[in-house]
Amino acid sequence: MSRLPRKITRLIVLLAFLALGANVFAQTLKAETPDDVVTLDSIIKAYYEVVSGPAGEAPDYERDSSLHHPSALISVASVNGEGKPQLATMSLRGFYDRFGGVRRTGFYEWEVHRRTERFGNIANVWSTYAASDKPGGKPFMRGINNIQLFHDGKRWWIVSWIYDSERPENPIPKEYLSYDR
């Protein structure tokens, strides 16, 4: 008799997880701007637009989450204070919790070069970026985003990305600076 309540409890927990997952997925689909995900060009354009904006505003998490598959993985490559490489990997929500609050200064990021490789329903985009505190301003930072995408037959999804910023010991190679799509 005591096994029945345990089975019921497990079933309730399973149904709760399924409902939560379905709710997250439904919110992602509802937030979607269809024009953002129809082509590789449109999703990469939206990728940069969602993080850009003036001081006092936060990045557009709702729109950004509509670009990312619900299980997307974000990785930040950097160096620690001793100059040793380090990696932080997280969900999109984790990335926003760590880096996506209200901007203290303006932040505008744009693409300056792209290299795309595609096979069937997958694509890998090497996207060199620059960032400034105002639209069209002098860049204070550059780097490369490596974005992996999946096409589900209807739309593109960002499934993962990793980036690294330019540093004196890590200059961007010339072939990643000319815009020649």
Q: How far apart are CA 116 and CA 123, in angstroms?
A: 7
Q: What is the pLDDT of residue 20?
A: 44
45 membership: H or E segment, kind and range: helix 40-51
Q: What is the pLDDT of residue 42?
A: 97
DSSP 170: B
User: What's the whole-model pTM score?
Assistant: 0.78
Q: What is the pLDDT of residue 30?
A: 44
Q: What is the pLDDT of residue 81?
A: 87
Q: What is the pLDDT of residue 148?
A: 98
Q: How far apart are CA 46 and CA 125, in angstroms?
A: 14
Residue spans of beta strands (DSSP E) within the chain:
68-79, 85-90, 108-119, 122-132, 141-151, 156-165
Q: What is the pLDDT of residue 87?
A: 93
Q: What is the pLDDT of residue 178?
A: 72
pLDDT means per 10 residues in the chain (181 residues)?
52 43 44 85 97 94 96 91 91 91 94 96 97 94 97 97 93 82 41
Pair 119, 126: CB distance under 8 Å: no
